Amino acid sequence: MKVYGISGLGADKRVFDYLNLNFELITIDWIIPLPSEPIESYAKRLSSIIDDSTDFCIIGVSFGGLIATEINKVLSPKKVILISSVHTKNELRSIYRRIGQLKIIRSIPANLFNPPRFIVKYIMGANNAKLLYKILDDTDLYFVKWALHELTTWKNIAYKNNVIKINRTSDKLIPPRGITKMYLIENGEHFMIVDRAQEISELINLELQ
């Protein structure tokens, strides 16, 4: 069975390098969003990369979890595993939703979405700072701006039974919430797909066996 991996906001497929899965993992590269493209349309375009002629699953990390959730509406994966992510808009911090209601992100220049590295390291709780900084150096700030707008204005409220979450107890960005089946990594933070890769690999293998 093929497993497709969608990385997080400001991240890329390198975050999957630390996983040890018993299945073929195919990482999906981000594509350029169209001007003012809604997340639903973007996810549908991205889903064309997936071969749905055979059984498959999707792993979505952080913002990639939102994309995986939207793809789950147009394709039929066996399972969707969300890591450091959310299943519905109601699981997001209320401050994110309030920012979305103000609709101010589109008016902010893209170059302002590049905070000091030490702040990002603290928020992400990253032990592997070297990898985090390399990823940030390669990040497209226009994509970050688009993704933050879509994150804060996300509309999904539908739960689907094929979704499993792996969250962490100490995540500063996305705390564990909701009724979806969830595994909790004690003291894990937002960058745990790298820092706690072995534990996460074991949970993924357990779910997909």
Please tell me the predicted confidence (pLDDT) of residue 10.
Answer: 66
Please tell me the predicted confidence (pLDDT) of residue 139.
Answer: 82
Please tell me the predicted confidence (pLDDT) of residue 121.
Answer: 80
For residues 42 and 67, the answer to whether their CB atoms sit within 8 Å is: yes
Please tell me the predicted confidence (pLDDT) of residue 32.
Answer: 92
| pLDDT over threshold 90, residue 168 | no
Whole-prediction pTM: 0.93
The bridge status of strand 163-168 relative to strand 80-83 is parallel
Q: Among residues of the chain, what percentage have pLDDT more than 90?
A: 67
In this predicted model, what pLDDT tens digit does every residue of 120-147 receive, in sequence order? 888 777 777 777 778 778 888 999 999 9
The bridge status of strand 2-6 relative to strand 80-83 is unpaired
| pLDDT over threshold 80, residue 35 | yes
CATH number at residue 198: 3.40.50.1820
Question: What domain range is 56 assigned to?
Answer: 2-208
Q: Among residues of the chain, what percentage have pLDDT more than 70?
A: 99
Question: What is the number of domains present in the chain?
Answer: 1
Nearest Cα neighbor of 110 from 63, 146, 56 is 146
> CA–CA separation, 189 vs 144, rounded Å?
20
